[in-house]
Structure 1
Amino acid sequence: MRDVIDAVADWTERDETFALATVVRTSKSAPRPPGAAMAVGINGEAVGSVSGGCVEGAVYHIAQDVIGDGTPVLQSFGYSDDDALAVGLTCGGIIDVFVERITPEEFPELADVIHDIRNGNPVAIATVVEHPQRARIGSRLVIWPSESSGTHGSSELDHAVIDDARGLLASGESGVLMYGPEGERMETGAKVFVASYQPKPRMIIFGAIDFAAAVARAGSMIGFHVTVCDARLVFATPARFPAADEVVVSWPHVYLQEELNRGTIDNRTVICVLTHDPKFDVPVLDIALRLEGPAKPAYIGAMGSRKTHDDRISRLQQAGVSQRQIAELHSPIGLDLGGRTPEETAVSIVAEIIAERWTGTGRPLRQLPGTVHSHSL
Structure 2
Amino acid sequence: MLNIADTLHAWCHEARPFALATVVQVSGSAPLPPGTSLAVDIAGEVVGSISGGCVEGAVYDLCRQVLQDHGLPARARFGYSDDDAFAIGLTCGGEIDVLVQRIEPTDLPHLTAALNEAVRDRPAAVAQIVDGPAEHLGRTLTLLGDGSAYDGTLGGENEDRAVAAQARALLRAGRTARIDIGGHPDTCPTKLSVLVHTHATPPRMLIFGAIDFAAALCQAGRFLGYRVTVCDARPVFATRARFPHADEVIVDWPHRYLAATETDARTAICVLTHDAKFDIPLLSLALSLPVGYIGAMGSRRTHADRNQRLREAGVTTAQLARLNSPIGLDLGAHTPEETAISITAEIITHSHRATGLPLSHGTGPIHRSGPAAPMPAQATSTAA
TM more than 0.5: yes
> Conserved in 1, the CA contact under 8 Å of 2:9 and 2:119?
no
Determine whether 1:297 maps to 2:291: yes
In structure 2, C-alpha distance between the alignment counterparts of 1:341 and 1:41, rounded to whole Å: 47
In structure 2, C-alpha distance between the alignment counterparts of 1:67 and 1:250, rounded to whole Å: 57
The offset of 1:186, in angstroms, is 8.6
> Conserved in 1, the CA contact under 8 Å of 2:75 and 2:97?
yes
Percent identity of paired positions between Structure 1 and Structure 2 = 52
2:30 aligns with 30
> Conserved in 1, the CA contact under 8 Å of 2:114 and 2:124?
yes
Determine whether 1:76 maps to 2:77: yes
In structure 2, C-alpha distance between the alignment counterparts of 1:171 and 1:183, rounded to whole Å: 31
- Structure 1, 299-308 or 186-195: larger mean CA deviation: 186-195
The offset of 1:229, in angstroms, is 1.3
> Conserved in 1, the CA contact under 8 Å of 2:29 and 2:95?
yes
> Conserved in 2, the CA contact under 8 Å of 1:205 and 1:273?
yes
2:231 aligns with 229
DSSP 3-state at the match of 2:52: coil
> Conserved in 1, the CA contact under 8 Å of 2:203 and 2:225?
yes
> Conserved in 2, the CA contact under 8 Å of 1:70 and 1:100?
no
Aligned residue-pair number: 368
Rate the CA distance shift 1:54–1:343 in 2: closer, same or farther, 3 A: same
The offset of 1:119, in angstroms, is 4.3
> Conserved in 2, the CA contact under 8 Å of 1:157 and 1:182?
no
| Structure 2 unaligned blocks of 5 or more | 372-384
In structure 2, C-alpha distance between the alignment counterparts of 1:314 and 1:163, rounded to whole Å: 44
> Conserved in 2, the CA contact under 8 Å of 1:157 and 1:184?
no
Rate the CA distance shift 1:178–1:289 in 2: closer, same or farther, 3 A: closer
In structure 2, C-alpha distance between the alignment counterparts of 1:112 and 1:221, rounded to whole Å: 28
Rate the CA distance shift 1:365–1:187 in 2: closer, same or farther, 3 A: farther
The offset of 1:278, in angstroms, is 1.8
DSSP 3-state at the match of 2:125: strand
2:382 aligns with none
Q: Quick one: which amino acid aligns to residue 73 of structure 1?
A: A
Rate the CA distance shift 1:148–1:302 in 2: closer, same or farther, 3 A: same
CA-based RMSD of the aligned residues comes to: 2.4
1:372 aligns with 366
In structure 1, C-alpha distance between the alignment counterparts of 2:197 and 2:46, rounded to whole Å: 21
In structure 1, C-alpha distance between the alignment counterparts of 2:224 and 2:349, rounded to whole Å: 13
- Structure 1, 106-115 or 181-190: larger mean CA deviation: 181-190
> Conserved in 1, the CA contact under 8 Å of 2:173 and 2:266?
no
- Structure 1, 151-160 or 248-257: larger mean CA deviation: 151-160
> Conserved in 1, the CA contact under 8 Å of 2:271 and 2:297?
yes
| Structure 1 unaligned blocks of 5 or more | none
In structure 1, C-alpha distance between the alignment counterparts of 2:287 and 2:141, rounded to whole Å: 40
- List per-residue Cα deviations over 1:142-191 (Å, max 9, x = no partner): 12421111122333332332233334333333233334589877977533
1:146 aligns with 148
In structure 2, C-alpha distance between the alignment counterparts of 1:151 and 1:183, rounded to whole Å: 19
- List per-residue Cα deviations over 1:260-301 (Å, max 9, x = no partner): xxxx2111111001112222222211111123xxxx111100
1:158 aligns with 160
2:250 aligns with 248
In structure 1, C-alpha distance between the alignment counterparts of 2:253 and 2:118, rounded to whole Å: 32
Q: What is the 5 A alignment of 1:1-377?
A: 1-71=1-71, 72-80=73-81, 83=84, 85-132=86-133, 134-144=134-144, 145-180=147-182, 189-259=191-261, 264-291=262-289, 296-377=290-371
In structure 2, C-alpha distance between the alignment counterparts of 1:48 and 1:211, rounded to whole Å: 35
- Structure 1, 13-22 or 312-321: larger mean CA deviation: 13-22
DSSP 3-state at the match of 2:365: coil
> Conserved in 1, the CA contact under 8 Å of 2:19 and 2:100?
yes
In structure 2, C-alpha distance between the alignment counterparts of 1:184 and 1:349, rounded to whole Å: 51
In structure 1, C-alpha distance between the alignment counterparts of 2:138 and 2:218, rounded to whole Å: 40
> Conserved in 1, the CA contact under 8 Å of 2:58 and 2:88?
yes
The offset of 1:346, in angstroms, is 0.8
Q: Quick one: which amino acid aligns to residue 305 of structure 2?
A: D
- Structure 1, 277-286 or 65-74: larger mean CA deviation: 65-74
> Conserved in 1, the CA contact under 8 Å of 2:295 and 2:325?
yes
> Conserved in 2, the CA contact under 8 Å of 1:35 and 1:195?
yes
Rate the CA distance shift 1:178–1:323 in 2: closer, same or farther, 3 A: closer
Q: Quick one: which amino acid aligns to residue 278 of structure 2?
A: F
DSSP 3-state at the match of 2:264: coil
The offset of 1:12, in angstroms, is 3.0
